[in-house]
Amino acid sequence: MTAPAPRPGWFAEFGGRFVAETLVPALAELETAVTSIVPSEDFQREWRELLRTYVGRPTPLTRATRLASRLDPSGEALAALWLKREDLCHTGAHKINNALGQVLLALRLGKQRIIAETGAGQHGVATATACALFGLPCEIYMGELDVERQAPNVSRMRMLGARVRPVASGSRTLKDAMNEALRDWVTHVRTTHYCVGSAAGPHPYPTLVAELQRPIGDEARAQLLAEAGRLPRAVVACVGGGSNAIGMFRAFEADDVALYGVEAAGEGIETGRHAATIGAGRVGVLHGARTLVLADDDGQIVEPHSVSAGLDYPGVGPEHAALARTGRATYLSATDDEALAAVRDVARAEGILIALETAHAFARIGDIARRERARSGAAVHVAVCLSGRGDKDLATLLARGLGDEVAS
Partner 1 sequence: MTAARLERRLAELRTARRPALIAYLTIGDPSVEDSLACARAALEAGADVLELGVPFSDPTADGPVIAAAAHRAIQAGGSLRAALRVAEALRRESDAPLVLFTYMNPILAFGERELPSAAVRAGADAALVVDLPPEEGQALRGAAREAELALIPLVAPTTSRERMDHLLAGARGFAYYVSVTGVTGSGDAPLAEAGREAAALQQRSGVPVVVGFGIDTPAKARLAAAAGAAGIVVGTALVRRIAAETSPAARLAAVAELVGALRSALEPA
Residues facing 200 on adjacent strands: none
Instruction: Using the rule CB under 8 A, give the single segment among 54-62, 129-137, 215-223, 280-288 that binds partner 1.
Output: 280-288
Single out the residue of 121, 247, 284, 310 in contact with partner 1 (rule: CB under 8 A).
284
Separation between Cα atoms, residue 97 and residue 249, nearest integer Å: 16
Residue of 41, 256, 298, 405 interacting with partner 1 (CB under 8 A): 298
Half-sphere exposure of 228 (CA within 13 A, CB side): 23
Q: Contact with partner 1 (CB under 8 A): which of 16, 121, 204, 366? A: 16
Site size for partner 1 (CB under 8 A): 40
Hey, which residues are catalytic here?
A: 95, 117, 387
- One symbol per residue from 165 to 194: x for binding partner 1 (CB under 8 A), - otherwise; what is it? ----xx----xx--x--xx--xxxxx----
Residue from 217, 239, 234, 227 nearest 78 by CA: 234
Neighbours of 90 (CB within 10 A): 16
In this structure, the strands spanning 138-143 and 163-167 are: parallel
Cβ proximity to partner 1, 278 vs 342, nearer residue: 278
Contact call for residue 296 and partner 1 (CB under 8 A): yes
Q: How many residues does the chain have?
A: 408
Helix (H) or strand (E) holding 159: helix 151-159
Q: Note whether 272 binds partner 1 by CB under 8 A.
A: no
Give the range of 97-105, 109-117, 121-129, 299-307 binding partner 1 by CB under 8 A. 299-307
Rounded to an integer, what distance in angstroms lies between the CA atom of residue 39 and that of residue 313?
Answer: 31
Please say which residue, 58 or 201, places its beta carbon nearer to partner 1. 201
**Mode of pairing for the β-strands spanning 282-286 and 192-194:** unpaired
* Min CB(127)–partner 1 separation in Å: 19
- The answer to whether 134 contacts partner 1 (rule: CB under 8 A) is no
Burial of 49 (0-12, 13-18, 19+ CB in 10 A): exposed
Q: Which strands, in side-by-side order, build the sheet including 113-118?
A: 163-167, 138-143, 113-118, 192-194
Comparing CB distances to partner 1, the nearer of 165 and 188 is: 188
| Complex with partner 1: residue 52 or 282, whichever CB lies closer | 282
**CA–CA dist 376, 373 (Å, integer):** 5
By CB under 8 A, tell whether 206 contacts partner 1. no
Minimum distance, C-beta of residue 20 to partner 1, in the bound complex (Å): 4
**Contact flag: residue 222 with partner 1 (CB under 8 A):** no
Residue 404 lies near partner 1 (rule: CB under 8 A): no
20 binds partner 1 (CB under 8 A): yes
Question: 204 or 215, CB closer to partner 1?
Answer: 204
When asked if residue 294 is in the footprint of partner 1 (CB under 8 A), the reply is no
> Considering only residues 120, 160, 234, 301, which one is a binding residue for partner 1 as defined by CB under 8 A?
301
For 48-115, the DSSP string reads HHHIIIII-PSPPEEE-HHHHHHH-TT-SSEEEEEEEEGGGSTTSBTHHHHHHHHHHHHHHTT--EEE
Shortest Å distance, C-beta 322 to partner 1: 16
- Regarding 317 and contact with partner 1 (CB under 8 A), the answer is no
CB of 284 to partner 1, least distance (A): 5
Radius of gyration of the chain from its Cα atoms, rounded to whole angstroms: 20
Q: Which residues bind partner 1 (CB under 8 A)?
A: 4, 16-26, 169-170, 175-176, 179, 182-183, 186-190, 282-288, 290, 293, 295-301
